[in-house]
């Protein structure tokens, strides 16, 4: 709980911090990386360059301050961050580094407005934020049976398959003689590669088949730069350099958006490479809950980009609906029509795809009467889906 004195200061200064949050985090990251370049190995340089990481951090800190003041729910944000941190091996001793540079950035951006009382109040906010995450991450590390120093393990590529245009899957087996970890359908793993420039970069990739097969499979779409954005460093490295018998570093399964077991009907709605967690969920339902009602909806720009198309059709059965933006090959042309999706009573929906796609689909499902708690979504990248 935020102290009364700090609560008064934070309440008074929250509007100005919110208005300058993006500037603060834009100042924070270069300062921290200059002092601690080793931390670059934890961060997606593409998201740094685009500003997405800065925006996500700013939104999270502001949301947590609002939570401390009025109880605005913060649990889903904390859970998402904790899972991401565990997948990367974030350590408790790294939080003081972040806190020092973050509060320093606040002082740099806001200048004389940051009195000692203001700095102390926001330092208290940060440390409550940090303690919340450290506790959540400790529980997740314990569940996974790993520590921050042991998350990365070598995995050998048993098989590589070209699944569609610009999309390949990699089937992985432990190269250290250790066990294949248990995971939940919908979860992801971090994969770290050493790039030609000498930097190590991690990325998260959904596990694209059901658990219990004695292996892990990820499916990676090559990210081609557009509108001035660079190509995806890790996806292109994997496509160009990683083949059968090569070894990559893989972290423990993580992720909070997982298939809820039971008998409730399931509606899976994906676009593009967002099909990957849906394949894991479909595989689990097919193996363990074959009587469960499933409606599977997928959207792609064209049939040749539809990854795992035959596998998806086999698992989804007759409950499958497909839209291809350019039409053709049995898919409905154009964008997904939410009103055309059958919604069984008491269904739970899972969404995965581009942010704009999920925002539109979620709005359509809410308009059709689904409760917000029954719509779950996986965002590829930092941040959360706006409500």
Q: Per-residue pLDDT tens for 307-362?
A: 999 999 999 887 899 999 988 888 999 999 999 999 999 999 999 999 999 999 99
For the question of residue 95 being annotated catalytic, the response is: yes
Average pLDDT of the chain is 93
Instruction: Choose among 168, 174, 172: nearest CA to 153.
Output: 174
How far apart CA 60 and CA 66 sit, in angstroms, is 10
CB neighbour class for 290 (10 Å; exposed up to 12, middle 13-18, buried from 19): exposed
Q: Which of 95, 126, 205, 324 is an active site residue?
A: 95
Per-residue pLDDT reduced to its tens digit, 156-200: 999 999 999 999 999 999 999 999 999 999 999 999 999 998 889
Map the chain to HEC letters. Answer: CCCHHHHHHHHHHHHHHHHCHHHHHHHHHHHHHHHCHHHHHHCCHHHHHHCHHHHHHHHHHHHHHHHHHHCCCCHHHHHHHHHHHHHHCCCHHHHHHHHHHHHHHHHHHHHHHCCHHHHHHHHHHHHHHHHHHHHHHHHHHHHHCCCHHHCCEEEEEEEEEEEECCEEEEEEEECCCCCCCCCCCCCEEEEEEECCCCCEEEEEEEECCCCCCCCEEEEEECCCCCCCCCCCHHHHHHHHHCCCCCEEEECCCECCCCCCCCCCCEEEEEEHHHHHHHHHHHHHHHHHCCCCCEEEEEEECCHHHCCCHHHHHHHHHHHEEEEECCCECCEEECCCCHHHCCCCCCCEEEEECCHHHHHHHHHHHHHCCCCHHHEEEECCCCCCCCC
* Active site annotation includes 126: no
Phi, psi (degrees; rounded to nearest 5) at 142? -65, -45
Q: Tell me the pLDDT tens digit for each residue of 54-111.
A: 888 888 888 999 999 999 999 999 999 999 999 999 999 999 999 999 999 999 999 9
| Candidates 29, 64, 124, 137; catalytic one | 137
């Amino acid at each position: 709980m935020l102290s009364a004195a700090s609560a008064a200061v934070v309440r008074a200064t929250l509007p100005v911090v919110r208005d300058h949050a993006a500037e603060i985090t834009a100042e924070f990251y270069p300062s921290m990386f200059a002092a601690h370049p080793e931390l670059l190995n934890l961060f997606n340089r593409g998201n740094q360059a685009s500003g997405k990481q800065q925006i996500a951090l700013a939104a999270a800190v502001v949301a947590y301050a609002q939570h401390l003041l009025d109880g605005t729910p913060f649990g889903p944000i904390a859970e998402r961050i904790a899972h991401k941190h565990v997948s990367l091996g974030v350590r408790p001793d790294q939080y003081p580094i972040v806190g020092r540079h973050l509060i320093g950035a606040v002082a740099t951006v806001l200048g004389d407005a940051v009195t000692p009382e203001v700095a102390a109040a926001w330092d208290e906010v940060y440390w409550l934020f940090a303690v919340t995450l450290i506790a959540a991450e400790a529980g997740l590390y314990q569940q996974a049976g790993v520590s921050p120093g042991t998350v990365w393990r070598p995995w050998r590529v048993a098989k590589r398959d070209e699944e569609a245009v610009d999309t390949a899957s990699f089937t992985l087996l432990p190269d250290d003689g250790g066990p294949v970890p248990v995971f939940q359908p919908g979860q992801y793993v971090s994969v770290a590669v050493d790039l030609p420039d000498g930097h190590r970069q991690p990325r998260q990739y959904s596990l694209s088949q059901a658990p219990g097969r004695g292996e892990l499979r990820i499916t990676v779409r090559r990210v081609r730069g557009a509108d001035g954005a660079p190509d995806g460093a890790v996806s292109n490295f994997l496509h160009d350099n990683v083949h059968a018998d090569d070894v990559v570093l893989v972290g423990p399964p993580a992720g909070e958006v997982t298939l809820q077991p039971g008998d409730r009907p399931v509606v899976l709605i994906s676009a593009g490479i967002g099909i990957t967690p849906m394949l894991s969920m479909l595989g689990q339902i097919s193996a363990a809950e074959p009587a469960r009602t499933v409606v599977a909806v997928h959207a792609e720009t064209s049939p040749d980009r539809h990854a795992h198309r035959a596998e998806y059709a086999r698992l989804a059965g007759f409950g499958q609906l497909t839209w291809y933006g350019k039409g053709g090959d049995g898919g409905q042309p154009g964008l997904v029509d939410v009103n055309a999706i059958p919604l069984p009573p008491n269904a739970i929906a899972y969404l995965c795809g581009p942010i704009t796609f999920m925002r539109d689909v979620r709005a359509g499902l809410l308009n059709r009467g689904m409760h917000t708690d029954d719509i779950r979504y996986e965002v590829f990248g930092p941040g959360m889906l706006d409500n």
